[in-house]
């Protein structure tokens, strides 16, 4: 909204036109979201304590986590509100990709909020019934798939329509997964469904230690922001051989808002955490990252950059599968971060070492832009 205001004021005083710069607005989104979360963070935590919205810790987890019982949860509301405010202020609201991301944030955030609230109300870490939870998460993912397919289908160029559906294979310049050849976008929509739901649940599984999930979310958002910047600029997209999708230019504003909001939340979530993001934050942030990956056609690069989330999700799948088939466990405890706690790593050691891995993976993911 401020973009329109400053451009109008620019008619009378030209320096206001500087806000039209995409890079400047992205930085302003970072600062706005960061300032908002820092300013309201303490107030939100105090309010959550007043409402007695404390975390219900699973009794089959590490015993050292029992002391965290009662720590305010649902802090993800602060993250999502910061993202929403910064995006509405600095993004061009005529861009459909911006609204798709905001709708995803609201849908997945609402499901997470309901899950958290039921856990608090009944003092039970199980929360929302699984079939209801995944029904609404599925509706959110299908909304994205159908919306992006529709936008791709109305493009004036068939080449652009194909590029907005096909999946890029990193490193190989001309190798793709041609989902565009499947009629009615069925392949694209199904693939999008799994990317978004997979990302949402993977981030949720990672969110088990103080600060563990939020910094990797910030790092991956920064990496995807770079992808969005490249694919939204015709010069860079041609040079780096990635699809030019004009709508992606404004996606970087949302990525900037995610970075600022995440860093602001980390201020309060660092060990010992004053607040947890809860499912309301983890499910929404994961879904937004997955959606941005689909928008930029960088799903495989996203899997590399978010490799930490992938490893956490795979550890749970392997643990459950192994126990059902062989009655034996692969890890001492799943998700993966609990395994390292069980073998003697301190919580802060697990978190910082996983952060280092996340940084390396994001760098590797960004390298795929040039290695073609």
Residue 132 has pLDDT above 80, yes or no: yes
Q: Say if CB 55 and CB 73 are below 8 A apart.
A: yes
Q: Quickly state the pLDDT bin for 128 (edges 50, 70, 90).
A: confident
Vertex 128: Cα angle to 311 and 279 (nearest 5): 45
Q: What is the pLDDT of residue 21?
A: 85
Q: What is the pLDDT of residue 222?
A: 97
Q: How far apart are CA 296 and CA 195, in angstroms?
A: 13
Q: Quickly state the pLDDT bin for 17 (edges 50, 70, 90).
A: low
* HSE (side-chain half, CA atoms, 13 Å) at 214: 30
Q: How far apart are CA 333 and CA 329, in angstroms?
A: 8
Residue 57 has pLDDT above 70, yes or no: no
Give per-residue pLDDT as tens, 285-308.
999 999 999 999 999 999 999 999
Residue 216 CB partners (closer than 8 Å, separation 6+): 206, 306, 308, 309, 354, 355, 358
Q: Quickly state the pLDDT bin for 19 (edges 50, 70, 90).
A: confident
pTM of the full structure? 0.93
Q: What is the pLDDT of residue 121?
A: 79
Q: Quickly state the pLDDT bin for 56 (edges 50, 70, 90).
A: low
Output the DSSP codes for 127-189: -S-HHHHHHHHHHHHHHHHHHHHHHHHT-S-HHHHHHTTSEE-TT-SS-EE-GGGSGGGHHHH
The answer to whether the Cα torsion of 191, 197, 201, 204 is positive or negative is positive
Q: For the chain, how far is it from start to end, CA to CA, in angstroms?
A: 38
Q: What is the pLDDT of residue 59?
A: 55
Residue 129 has pLDDT above 60, yes or no: yes
Per-residue buried b or exposed e for 212-233, using 16+ beta carbons within 10 Å of the residue's own CB: bbbbbbbbbbbbbbbbbbbbbb
Q: What is the pLDDT of residue 66?
A: 56
Mean per-residue pLDDT, 303-331: 93
Which helix H or strand E contains 245, and what residues bound it? none
Give per-residue pLDDT as tens, 263-289.
999 999 999 999 999 999 999 999 999
| Of 136, 134, 128, 164, the residue nearest 148 (C-alpha) | 164
Q: What is the pLDDT of residue 90?
A: 94
Give per-residue pLDDT as tens, 60-83.
556 555 566 678 889 999 999 999
Q: How far apart are CA 133 and CA 111, in angstroms?
A: 7
Q: How far apart are CA 369 and CA 171, in angstroms?
A: 8
Q: Percent of the chain beyond pLDDT 90? A: 71
State the alpha helices, DSSP H only, in the chain.
Answer: 2-9, 22-50, 76-90, 96-122, 130-153, 158-163, 186-206, 214-231, 234-240, 251-269, 278-295, 299-305, 307-326, 336-342, 347-367
């Amino acid at each position: 909204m401020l973009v329109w205001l400053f451009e109008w004021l620019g008619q009378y005083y030209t320096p206001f036109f500087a806000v039209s710069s995409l890079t400047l607005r992205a930085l302003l989104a970072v600062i706005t979201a960061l300032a908002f979360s820092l300013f309201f963070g303490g107030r939100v935590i105090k309010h959550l304590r007043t409402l007695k919205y404390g975390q219900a810790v699973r009794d089959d987890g590490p015993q050292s986590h029992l002391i965290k019982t009662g720590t305010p949860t649902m802090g993800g509301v602060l993250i999502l509100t910061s993202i929403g405010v910064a995006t509405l202020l600095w993004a061009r609201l005529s861009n459909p990709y911006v609204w798709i991301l905001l709708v995803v944030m609201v849908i997945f955030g609402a499901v997470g909020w309901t899950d958290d609230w039921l856990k608090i109300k009944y003092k039970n870490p199980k929360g929302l019934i699984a079939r209801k939870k995944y029904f609404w998460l599925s509706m959110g993912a299908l909304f994205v798939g159908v919306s992006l397919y529709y936008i791709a289908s109305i493009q004036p160029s068939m080449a652009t329509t194909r590029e907005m559906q096909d999946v890029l294979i990193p490193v190989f310049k001309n190798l793709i997964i041609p989902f565009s050849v499947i009629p009615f976008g069925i392949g694209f929509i199904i693939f999008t469904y799994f990317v978004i739901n997979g990302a949402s649940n993977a981030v949720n599984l990672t969110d088990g230690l103080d600060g563990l999930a939020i910094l990797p979310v910030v790092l991956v958002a920064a990496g995807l922001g770079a992808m969005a910047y490249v694919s939204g600029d015709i010069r860079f997209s041609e040079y780096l051989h990635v699809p030019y999708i004009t709508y992606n230019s404004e996606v970087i504003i949302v990525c900037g808002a995610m970075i600022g909001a995440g860093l602001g939340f980390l201020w309060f979530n660092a060990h010992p955490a004053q607040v947890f993001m809860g499912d309301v934050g983890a499910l929404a942030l994961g879904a937004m990252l997955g959606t941005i990956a689909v928008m930029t056609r960088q799903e495989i690069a996203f899997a590399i950059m978010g490799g930490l989330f992938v490893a956490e999700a795979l550890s749970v799948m392997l643990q459950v599968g192994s126990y059902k088939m062989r009655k034996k466990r692969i890890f001492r405890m799943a998700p993966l971060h609990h395994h390292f706690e069980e073998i003697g790593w301190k919580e802060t050691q697990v978190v910082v070492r996983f952060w280092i891995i996340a940084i390396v993976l994001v760098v590797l993911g960004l390298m795929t832009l040039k290695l073609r």
